[in-house]
């Protein structure tokens, strides 16, 4: 049985018999909640770091020129801040389509701003998916983002909206901040 089959079975079992579940968003799900939710709360997850290492062939790029979007990589001691949404299982038909380009749902513990915890789901794209681009220096990631565009718009908008949303929530993310700074510096040099 493949890892994908095991994960598919695990995520289906996680939704079985539930009227609602928490979903953790760490990328565009923070600022673009185009799905119905019952409640949303700032939250964090432990042991994961956000990185612009996933290709986007379907939203912020094209199959011939993929953009870069965030995924999570395991990173001991790291905390990733985002937004948790309490949703009904029916939203996953839409979300599975939205996150189809290499992302799988995983079960993770969430910690809310008030210190309470819950179990939730998060979409993560690992290095074994076809859209994986992997690590690169932040300046190269910014240059890649600067030239990428897809059906959902310019890749730069994704980056800058994410950086702004994290700042509004009070979450510091050195990687996102470095890529955003490199993009803005690049923009200043061009004008």
Among all residues, which ones are annotated catalytic?
Answer: 99
Contact 27, 69 (CB under 8 A): yes
Q: Is 66 helix (H, G, I), strand (E, B) or coil?
A: coil
Q: How many CB atoms lie within 10 A of CB 152?
A: 18
Give helix then strand counts, H and E, for the chain.
6, 7
Contact 145, 68 (CB under 8 A): yes
Q: How many residues does the chain have?
A: 191
Residues 6+ away with beta carbon under 8 Å from 167: none
Q: Which residues pair with 154 in a beta bridge?
A: 149
Residues 6+ away with beta carbon under 8 Å from 140: none
Residues 6+ away with beta carbon under 8 Å from 10: 107
Which H or E element spans position 112?
strand 104-112
């Amino acid at each position: 049985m493949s890892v994908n089959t095991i994960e598919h079975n695990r995520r289906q079992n996680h939704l079985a018999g539930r009227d609602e579940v928490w979903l953790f968003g760490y990328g565009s799900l923070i600022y673009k909640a185009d799905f119905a939710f019952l409640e949303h709360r700032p939250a964090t997850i432990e042991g994961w770091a956000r990185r612009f290492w996933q290709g986007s062939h379907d939203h912020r790029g094209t199959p011939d020129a993929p953009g870069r979007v965030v995924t999570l990589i395991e990173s001991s001691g790291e905390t990733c801040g985002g937004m948790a949404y309490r949703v009904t299982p029916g939203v996953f038909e839409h979300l599975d389509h939205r996150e189809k380009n290499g992302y799988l749902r995983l079960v993770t513990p969430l910690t809310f701003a008030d210190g309470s915890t819950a179990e939730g789901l998060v979409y993560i794209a690992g290095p074994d998916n076809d859209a994986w681009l992997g690590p690169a220096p932040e300046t190269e990631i910014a240059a890649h983002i600067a030239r990428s565009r897809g059906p959902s718009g310019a890749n730069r908008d994704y980056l800058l909206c994410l950086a702004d949303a994290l700042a509004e929530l009070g979450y510091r993310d050195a990687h996102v901040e470095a890529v955003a700074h490199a993009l803005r510096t690049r923009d200043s040099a061009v004008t």
